[in-house]
């Protein structure tokens, strides 16, 4: 049986310096690469924000409304580290969103914590600020520590996504053919039910994810060649 924390610990022990998530956004020209260590540091910071600042607890539900972006992989890892259940609709105790969802979810900020990211390089802040009551991730995340220990965190039976436990999620991920230790290219949003398997298979199989947004077919093929993609 396995939890996300155990998956990440194994990745750190095996090869902490290798690329884990590489993100291309051809609409902005951004290329961001997170090594295993850098990814773990981001996960720790966002975990601390969710737990220590927003006072979320294991078993709470986090609604994630983000597009395909490297930060989405971090938010998932942070939620699972704290022991939160990631959902895409229905009842929830907090929300993480991007620019497109800011106006919609700001209306809920007096009821539940709402965290928004401008999705700028290095998770920069919103240039014009955010509505009253909304937490700007680009402002609040930088004061969080690079190390975080969850208490109690998740166990095998803790829901990870929409009723699926950690044990079931990671058992399924490890059994996927993509969990072969290679470089997996995906255009699907990892925070969606359709895109999630690419991320979990890469993590469970000690591989890596190349996440591509807004690329033409020709550009996608060039990225796949440059990044030595083995599946996608």
Complete domains list, the chain, with CATH? 4-226 (3.40.50.12780)
pLDDT band at 67 (very low <50, low <70, confident <90, very high): very high
Task: Write the pLDDT tens digit of every residue in 29-46.
Answer: 999 999 999 999 999 999
Mean of the pLDDT values across residues 107-113?
A: 96
Q: In sequence order, which ranges of 36-133 are alpha helices (DSSP H)? A: 36-48, 70-82, 102-106
Buried b (16+ CB within 10 A) or exposed e, 52-91: eebebebebbbbbbbbbbbbbbbbbbbbbbbbbbbbeeee
Residue 212: partners with Cβ closer than 8 Å, 6 or more residues away: 23, 24, 26, 68, 185, 186, 187, 220, 223
Percentage above 90 pLDDT, the chain: 97
User: What span, in angstroms and rounded, lies between the C-alpha atoms of 202 and 197?
Assistant: 8
Please answer whether residues 123 and 30 qualify as being in contact, where contact means their C-beta atoms are separated by less than 8 angstroms.
no
Pairing assessment for the beta strands 208-213 and 183-186 based on DSSP bridges: parallel
**209: three-class secondary structure by DSSP:** strand
CA distances from 78 to 7, 148, 181 (A): 13, 10, 23
* pTM given for the model: 0.97
| Per-chain mean pLDDT for the chain | 97
Compute the chain's Rg from CA coordinates: 17
Place of tokens 């014009």: 128
| Preceding peptide of 152 cis, ω within 30° | yes
Chain centroid to CA 96 = 11
pLDDT of residue 232: 84
pLDDT band at 115 (very low <50, low <70, confident <90, very high): very high
């Amino acid at each position: 049986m396995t939890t996300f924390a155990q998956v990440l610990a194994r990745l750190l022990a095996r090869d902490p310096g290798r690329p884990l998530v590489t993100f291309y956004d051809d609409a902005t020209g951004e290329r961001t690469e997170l090594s295993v260590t850098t990814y773990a540091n981001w996960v720790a910071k966002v975990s601390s924000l969710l737990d220590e600042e927003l006072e979320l607890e294991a078993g709470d539900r986090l609604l994630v409304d983000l597009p395909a972006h490297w930060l989405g992989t971090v938010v998932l890892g942070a939620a699972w580290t704290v022991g939160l259940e990631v959902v895409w609709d229905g009842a929830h105790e907090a929300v993480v969103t991007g620019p497109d969802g800011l106006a919609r979810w700001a209306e809920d900020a007096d009821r539940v914590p709402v965290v928004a990211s401008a999705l700028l390089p290095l998770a920069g802040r919103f240039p014009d600020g955010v509505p009253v009551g909304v937490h700007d991730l680009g402002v609040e995340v930088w004061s969080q520590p690079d190390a975080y220990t969850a208490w109690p965190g998740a166990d095998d039976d803790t829901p990870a996504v929409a009723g699926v436990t950690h044990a079931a999620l990671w058992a399924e991920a490890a059994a996927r053919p993509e969990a072969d230790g290679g470089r997996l290219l995906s255009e699907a949003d990892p925070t969606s039910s359709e895109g999630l398997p690419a991320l979990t298979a890469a993590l469970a199989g000690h591989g890596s994810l190349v996440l591509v947004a807004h690329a033409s077919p020709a550009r996608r093929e060039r990225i796949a060649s440059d990044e030595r993609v083995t599946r996608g």
